[in-house]
Amino acid sequence: MSDPKNNGKTLWEMLTHRGQEAMVAVAFRNPLDLRIGSSVLVSHVNGPEFEGYDFSVKEAREYVRRIGTQEFGFTDYVLKGTNTKTFDAADEVITRLRLVPNAQGTNDSAFLRLYDEFAFSEDFLAVVKDTTGVFEISDDKTDEKEIYNRINDVRDAYEANVLIITATTEEGKAPAGTTKAAKLEYWDYWRDREIGGGKTAKQFIFVEMDSDTGWFQIWRGSEFFL
């Protein structure tokens, strides 16, 4: 079927038009207006283990999920931490800064680090599908247990489409050909952690499962403090 918009155009003009459309940069949720390669200040209050590291944005990941007719999205900035004492690639750390919109019109933020990852497991899937909504982690050294509960008492998994951005333009968009898509299911958990002085901070666990491969990743972290 012919396209009415192409009536009167030569073949070369139609091909050129399509090429221009393919070269359009892609906009994505970028709440901090960062660019790939931008520096990000990570204060020492986010963890003494990050003392002496410089962080920069390695990639951005836009998550979009639908609940009924509504669309919800949030952004992960994948950060590469360089050890300024050694500058050795073996000492690099990869973290995520997650920004989730809240009811106040701002963003809740969490600073996450990969806790574990492994191939698909029916037994582990049964853990995250457990109807209690509880996720438990045991410290191998102290045998102490950390107990997390699903955020907002949700029980089912969330399904999300993820846009992975590996380069940005000066305007903060993704150039054509620099993105890829993924689909996953994830489960979110939290708990209150004592931080001293009678104060607490939220600590999080996010379990992600790639919908195509079944690969699991467990991300663990706390509220992010500037």
Residue 11 — very low, low, confident or very high, per pLDDT cuts 50/70/90? Answer: low
What pLDDT sits at residue 2?
Answer: 44
**19 has pLDDT over 50:** no
Residue 12 — very low, low, confident or very high, per pLDDT cuts 50/70/90? Answer: low
> Whose CA is closest to 164, among 40, 37, 63, 34?
63
Extended beta strands in 84-138, E state: 93-101, 107-118, 134-138
- Give the amino acid at 39: S
Least confident residue range of 17-21, 25-29, 120-124: 17-21
Element (DSSP H or E) covering residue 125: helix 122-128
CA atoms of 193 and 215, how far apart (whole Å):
29
Judge residue 210's burial from the number of C-beta atoms within 10 Å of its C-beta, 0-12 exposed, 13-18 middle, 19 or more buried: middle
Domain positions in the chain are 26-223
CA atoms of 124 and 214, how far apart (whole Å):
11
Instruction: Determine phi and psi for 132, rounding to 5 degrees.
Output: -75, -25
CA atoms of 60 and 52, how far apart (whole Å):
23
> Whose CA is closest to 130, among 67, 215, 66, 187?
187
pLDDT in tens, 188-219: 999 998 877 888 889 999 999 999 999 999 99
Question: What does the DSSP 8-state code read for residue 177?
Answer: T
Query: pTM here?
Result: 0.85
Mean pLDDT of 93-117: 95
Residue 67 — very low, low, confident or very high, per pLDDT cuts 50/70/90? Answer: confident
CA atoms of 221 and 205, how far apart (whole Å):
7
**48 has pLDDT over 70:** yes
> Whose CA is closest to 179, among 191, 166, 190?
166
